[in-house]
Chain A
Amino acid sequence: MRLGLVISEVGQGLRRNLSMVISVVLVTFISLTFVGAAVLLQMQITQMKSYWFDRAQVAVYLCTEFSTVGGCDQQAATPDQVALVQAQLESETLAPFIDTFYFETQEEAFARFQEQFEGQAVADLITPELLPEAFWVNLIDPTQSDILVDALGGLVGVESIVDQRSYLEQIFAILNAASFTAIGIAALMLVAAALLIATTIRLSAFSRRREIGIMRLVGASNRFIQTPFIIEGVVAALIGSVLAGLAVVAIVQFFVQGYLAETLPLTSFVGLQDALLVVPLLIAAGAVLAALSANVAITRYLRV
């Protein structure tokens, strides 16, 4: 009896306030979609970080005829100098930190360059002589590139020592900024959603003030009076969160997996199982948000 009564009250409330309910649905839908996108972006960043940082190498570039920086004086590194660098890399001081390393000749560097910039104008301007020879080093702990800089930085014939991680850091900083922007927008929208839910519930309570007045008069418990309103807010927000969940799944399925993954086949992207992990999070967030703001709104309405 009581449950049936509560359900019918909720249904009435939702129907009576249809336009407000729709706006609650839309606002929670959009704000939670942003939350979902931000979470997925963070997942993507973490995934890419572990993938790329593991593969990030330190390049020890050697001098070319054209270089003037570092230990270079417009002279290509001599075979002796190359051998010295190699000896250092194999020495007892450095070897414990190094997983593997290999030497790249100018021709190999050129071939890689051509492949990387295929079809772009710069590929035609570059000749093998312009590109430095290099030792490519994989460190056991990729964060310790400073050791190489200290040990090899001053050597004659070494132009520069570059940690690829520094490039990656920049890319990830940009991605991070994007995901924080999404989180910021999501937070603002969530505030709007919470306020909108509170307003909707107050409006709903106002349109049922006769019933509420009688319920209080005859001694209906506060919880009994409040529950239908809270459920009303939660139902509206749940519709929005389910839509947001669907949107997140659709974005991953059709945009990330369908478009991005085909366009950039070498990068691994977040997949459907990641999206399905986010969906319950969104639904729970929507429900909790609505329950809290509806609860505060109806409690305050009934107190005055």
Chain B
Amino acid sequence: MIRFDEVTKVYRGTARPALNGVSLEILSGEFVFLVGASGSGKSTFLRLVLKEEKPSTGTIHVLGQDLGRISSRKVPYFRRNLGVVFQDFRLLPNKTVFDNVAFSLQVIGKSAGFIHEAVPDALQTVGLDGKAQRYPHELSGGEQQRVAIARAVVNKPAILLADEPTGNLDPETSGGIMALLERINANGTTVIMATHDAGIVDRLQRRVIEVIGGRVVRDERGGGYKTQATPIVTQGFGLGDAR
């Protein structure tokens, strides 16, 4: 489903790689936590999957396609297979909940008929069926994130990428969002979630990939946020990064 082979990413104008020799494979239907300190390269990983950035070296396969071989004209069509959710929701403030979700279908040329079927469906999935005509500022943070998730899954993507989706939410609301993501995963969507939330990772006991300074230091099925050994390693790298 997703395969990284010796992927290194060095941003232009920086010396230290944001990702360094990463090789891993994520299978269809998995739920993967991406953990690591700030600046360790989690968002970079997700951006590479989305082909928002291209690797400096190494190859990435997503859904059977070599991302290095997709022409920039074809990238939008590739992205239609992926849903993305961010910490800051990224909703359009001047559109209603319904229109925010519908917008993502309109701009990829879906018919009005399809939109009127799919959007209420997605809103129901995330538990917002009564609030379709609200505007984002009339919703709580948790509800806004649900709108963002509805937008990400309305086109039934094979993969859902979530970059700290609970970063702005209190623990209880986060719990609701996680239940939602688990439900989406149970329906067959591969979910990759970058997070700092130790409680969530420990509770769900899913596959955990830990990144430190751009390197994968742990890839564990059914793991927690930290193993016994890693805090020391993290500290060491953390000091090195501070310079």
Contact = CB atoms under 8 A, between A and B. Distances in A.
A216 interface: yes
B151 interface: yes
**Chain A interface residue number, banded:** 10 to 19
B106 A219 contact: no
Given A217-B84, A218-B107, A218-B155, A1 B112 contact: yes
B24 interface: no
Contact of A219 (B72, B76, B92, B112): B76
**Chain B interface residue number, banded:** 20 to 34
B96 to A, nearest CB: 15
Given A216-B76, A222-B73, A5 B107 contact: yes
Contact of B109 (A214, A222, A224): A224
B76 A214 contact: no
Nearest to A12: B94
A87 to B, nearest CB: 83
Contacts of A79: none
A32 B76 CA distance: 38
A5 to B, nearest CB: 5
A93 interface: no
Interface string B91-117: 010000000000110111101100100
A254 to B, nearest CB: 47
B92 A210 contact: yes
A220 B76 contact: yes
B77 A219 contact: yes
A114 B112 CA distance: 83
Nearest to B86: A217
B105 to A, nearest CB: 8
B131 interface: no
Interface in B59-104: 72-73, 76-80, 82, 84, 90, 92, 103-104
A139 to B, nearest CB: 65
